[in-house]
């Protein structure tokens, strides 16, 4: 994609501090890290949504992301890591190229995901699960 910053990074047109690269994915340090070592793992092929990434590439992204998380934990003395992928602007995706954040975490790093928690009404969870399972089944048949 012509104006995609991540495609330009993957093509070597824009510099990045690379952590890992193979034929399917590229991992590089985020320029605005939550914590030092915060890494982005991208498919080298342009995909705006995680739903269009081929299964082998998506699997590779998460495999490499988890290995980077372990390396960050061990080498930079973090306690844990988050893997985060936002799909769409409403989910917080800023760059329209699918990317997996690997965020190293410390017990007292001061960063908090602001999760809210809702409660299902009686029968609502089962109804939603049935609808999603049906849609998923027909989507996987295609």
Which residue has 């990074």 as its token pair? 9
pLDDT tens for residues 16-35? 999 999 999 999 999 999 99
Domains of the chain: 5-115 (3.30.428.10)
* CA dist., res. 104 & res. 64, Å (int): 14
Give catalytic residue positions: 99
Helix residue ranges, H only, 33-116: 55-76
* CA dist., res. 87 & res. 93, Å (int): 6
- Those residues of the chain that have pLDDT short of 70 are 1, 139-142
- pTM for this entry: 0.91
The per-residue pLDDT for 137 is 82
């Amino acid at each position: 994609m012509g104006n995609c910053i991540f495609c330009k990074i993957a093509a070597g047109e824009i510099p990045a501090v690379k952590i890992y690269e193979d034929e399917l994915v590229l991992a590089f340090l985020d320029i605005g890290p939550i914590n030092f070592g915060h890494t982005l793992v991208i498919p080298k092929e342009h995909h705006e949504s995680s739903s269009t990434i081929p299964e082998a590439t998506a699997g590779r992204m998460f495999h490499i992301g988890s290995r980077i998380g372990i390396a960050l934990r061990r080498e930079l003395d973090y306690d844990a890591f988050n893997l985060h992928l936002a799909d769409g602007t409403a989910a917080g995706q800023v760059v329209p190229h699918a990317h997996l954040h690997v965020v190293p975490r410390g017990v007292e790093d001061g960063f908090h995901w602001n999760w809210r928690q809702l409660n299902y009404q009686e029968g609502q969870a089962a109804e939603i699960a049935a609808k999603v399972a049906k849609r998923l089944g027909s989507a996987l048949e295609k």
